[in-house]
Chains A and B, each alone.
Chain A
Amino acid sequence: MIIADRKPFEEIKELTSKAKNILIAGCDSCVAVCLASGEKEVAVLASELRMQRKMDGLEGEIEEIVNVRQCENEYVDAMRDKVEKADLILSMACGVGVQTLAERFPDKLAYPALNTKFMGRPVEPGVWKENCEGCGHCILHLTGGICPVARCSKSMLNGPCGGSQGGKCEVDPEIDCGWQLIYDRLSRLGQLDALVEIMLSKDWSTSWSGGPRRVIKESAGV
């Protein structure tokens, strides 16, 4: 899922300071599962902001709304009544949600209250880690189901580099070396010979390097 984290309150205060009526719009999907959005998170931010704005002598109302997914037109369009009354929609969704709001409500400001981080998953309570960069051509079958693109700090395909020690990455001792993980998993599966093959340079045109991407499914068209 998409993992996000709320921006520091100071930054949110700053980016909302010129608005009068604000609608805080939460999303109940990925970002709620990683505790960055949802009913409670929206309510907390709304009350923090109300208090701060009162202290700063700012006028205006702060409204709250949470919908199932902020990245789909149907759900977003259903917010229209509340949006009409606001000058600014403060989105507590990922970057996709913010952009959906901007597109569906072209005359309203839509600002992010979250920093969208990565595609990943919870690995232990309170810890989420990155798994996939959406490179557009998956090679997990070659690397024991562990992604070298997203989980090696240098996206090496023939790793590990000379900085890998004790299972940790040279970038930060908090980061597991992706190639150590790949090595361990392939050795467990008895497939270490897969690592002898040279993996040739990747075609990055399927990734963001090829420009913003789209997926077309004829069967889903109307």
Chain B
Amino acid sequence: MKSGSNLEKVLSSGHFAVTAELGPPKSCDPEVVEKKAEILKGFADAVNITDNQTAIVRTSSIATGVIVARKGLEPVVQMTCRDRNRIAIQSDLLGAAALGIKNLLCLTGDHQSCGNHPQARGVFDLDAIQLIDMVRRMRDEKKFQCGEEMSVEPRFFIGAAANPFADPFEFQVIRLAKKVTAGAEFIQTQLIYNVEKFARWMKMVREMGLHEKTYILAGVGPIKSAGAARYMKNKVAGMDVPGEIVERLQAASDPKAEGIKLCLDIIEQVRAIEGVAGIHIMAIEWESAVPEIAERAGLLPRPQID
């Protein structure tokens, strides 16, 4: 056990894991976080707390993670390289560990031009792979990035993201291998709507034996309407939403119900792919969909491991 987190225990004991996502509010209202945590509790092994996702200012991921943990739900704190240099990142990670955070997802981060402060100076002192490497050394070698030693090390279960739909396709698998070498113990993928392409990607992952070195959680999520699907297809960088998906939602009499049905279909298909160790449900600003999805996908009750 690297961290002793619930997520690590669930995965290492061979259970099919379920993680969800909880976006901090664009204000400092803890009640918003508590309400979302109450909805998700019991339906996921851990929940990702986004770090100013899409470069929009929100309550910090660490603070939100602590509020979520108080509610009895385990957080996966996301940390990006966009807003902090190696000094700030290490400092925040020591603080997060001191506050009891055990799971960390390391990301490069969306570019600041995508968000609500496009005038900001980006940092990008490190990239995601260098961040993973730094966090692993902090934990396993008790060393800061500069090489100095520390007395008590932060013990994180280290995660990273992967996007099977980004280009160059082959290089994205090489990049996953680099993340695993750097120390990524679990991977959460981009939202999957093109299952065929994801399956091809997983085949390459298996050929490189990466599924045996890291736990791969397939990213899924319900879409509320054909309009939302079209927006993701055309406007969101790194997404691959096939035309049939838009059409299926367009044709539905109850698009929300169809969106959930679609998500369940995708879960069933990705579960059948060798090397998929769990799913990551991203129901952004639609947390209430998660219990229904987990229930209908037959993923309940979540394992209790001591």
Contact partners of A204 in chain B: CB under 8 A? 125
Residues of B near A177 (CB, < 8 A) are: 167
Does the CB pair A162–B168 fall under 8 Å? Answer: no
Structural contact, B114 and A159, CB atoms closer than 8 A = no
Question: Is B56 in the interface zone, CB < 8 Å from A?
Answer: no
Cα separation A184 to B169 with both chains bound (whole Å): 12
**Chain A residues whose CB sits within 8 angstroms of the CB of B81 once the complex forms:** 154
Task: Select one of B113, B126, B167 contacting A166, CB under 8 A.
Answer: B167
Residue of B82, B114, B165, B171 near A160 (CB, 8 A) is B171
* Contact, CB under 8 Å: B133 / A200: yes
The reply to whether A154 and B134 contact each other, CB–CB distance below 8 Å, is no
Q: Per-position contact with B for A163-188: 1 when CB-CB < 8 Å, else 0?
A: 11111001110000101100110000
Most buried by B among A160, A161, A196, A199: A161
A190 and B238 CA atoms in complex are apart in Å by: 27
A104 to B192, CA, bound (A): 62
Chain A, residue nearest B182 (CB): A198
Q: Please tell me the size bucket of the interface on B.
A: 35 or more
Interface size class of A (residues with CB under 8 A): 20 to 34
B76 within 8 A of A: no
Binary interface encoding of chain A residues 54-74 relative to chain B, with 1 for a CB under 8 A from any of its CBs, else 0: 000000000000000000000
Contact string against B for A residues 15-39, beta-carbon threshold 8 Å, 1 for contact and 0 otherwise: 0000000000000000000000000
Q: Give min CB distance, A103 to chain B, whole Å.
A: 27
Contact B110 A163 (CB under 8 A): yes
Contacts of B130 in A (CB 8 A): 157-158, 198-201
- One of B25-33, B58-66, B173-181 contacting the partner: B173-181
Is B162 an interface position by the 8 A CB rule?
Answer: yes
Residues on A with beta carbons closer than 8 Å to the beta carbon of B16: none
A47 within 8 A of B: no
A154-B124, A171-B114 known; A162-B238 Cβ under 8 A: yes
The answer to whether A102 has its CB under 8 Å from any CB of chain B is no
**A196 CA to B166 CA, complexed, in Å:** 18
Contact of B190 among A162, A180, A199 (CB under 8 A): A162
B111 at the interface (CB under 8 A from A): yes
B6 adjacent to chain A (CB < 8 Å)? no
A27 to chain B, nearest CB (A): 28
B39 at the interface (CB under 8 A from A): no
Note all chain B residues with C-beta closer than 8 A to A154. 81-82, 108-109, 111, 122, 124, 127
Q: Is the interface of A mostly helix, strand, loop or mixed?
A: loop
Q: Which residues of B contact A156 (CB under 8 A)?
A: 108, 124, 127
Given A171-B111, A183-B168, A196-B178: A163 touches B237 (CB 8 Å cut-off) = yes
Interface status of A153 (Cβ within 8 A of chain B) = yes
Chain A residue with the shortest CB-CB distance to B127: A156
Q: Given A154-B124, A201-B126, A201-B145, A160 and B178 touching (CB < 8 A)?
A: no
Which B residues from 163 to 221 make CB contacts under 8 A with A? Answer: 163, 165-168, 171-172, 174-175, 177-178, 181-182, 190
In the bound complex, how far is the Cα of B81 from the Cα of A204, in angstroms?
A: 15
The answer to whether B86 has its CB under 8 Å from any CB of chain A is yes
Please tell me if the beta carbons of B171 and A172 are within 8 angstroms of each other in the complex.
no
Is A167 a contact partner of B111 (Cβ separation < 8 A)? no
A109 within 8 A of B: no
B167 touches A158 (CB 8 A): no
Q: Please name all residues of chain B whose beta carbon is closer than 8 Å to the beta carbon of A164 when the two chains form the complex.
A: 166-168, 238
How far apart are the CA atoms of A184 and B125 in the complex, in Å? 25
Please measure, in the bound complex, the distance between the C-alpha atom of A155 and the C-alpha atom of B114, giving whole angstroms: 16
Interface membership of chain B positions 91-118, coded 1 if the CB is closer than 8 angstroms to chain A and 0 otherwise: 0000000000000000011110110000
Contact of B113 among A160, A161, A171 (CB under 8 A): A171
A195 adjacent to chain B (CB < 8 Å): yes
Query: Given A164-B168, A183-B168, A201-B145, list of 17 further CB < 8 A pairs?
Result: A154-B111, A156-B127, A157-B127, A158-B175, A160-B167, A161-B128, A161-B238, A162-B163, A162-B166, A164-B167, A170-B114, A171-B113, A171-B114, A179-B171, A198-B129, A200-B130, A201-B133
A/B interface sample: 26 pairs, CB < 8 A: A153-B111, A153-B113, A154-B81, A155-B124, A158-B127, A159-B175, A160-B172, A161-B166, A162-B162, A162-B166, A163-B111, A163-B166, A164-B166, A165-B166, A166-B167, A170-B111, A171-B111, A171-B113, A172-B113, A179-B171, A195-B174, A198-B181, A198-B182, A200-B133, A201-B126, A201-B133
Top 6 nearest A-B pairs (CB, nearest first) are A162-B163, A170-B237, A163-B237, A158-B129, A156-B127, A201-B130
Residues of B within 8 A of A (CB): 81-82, 86, 108-111, 113-114, 122, 124-130, 133-134, 145, 161-163, 165-168, 171-172, 174-175, 177-178, 181-182, 190, 237-238
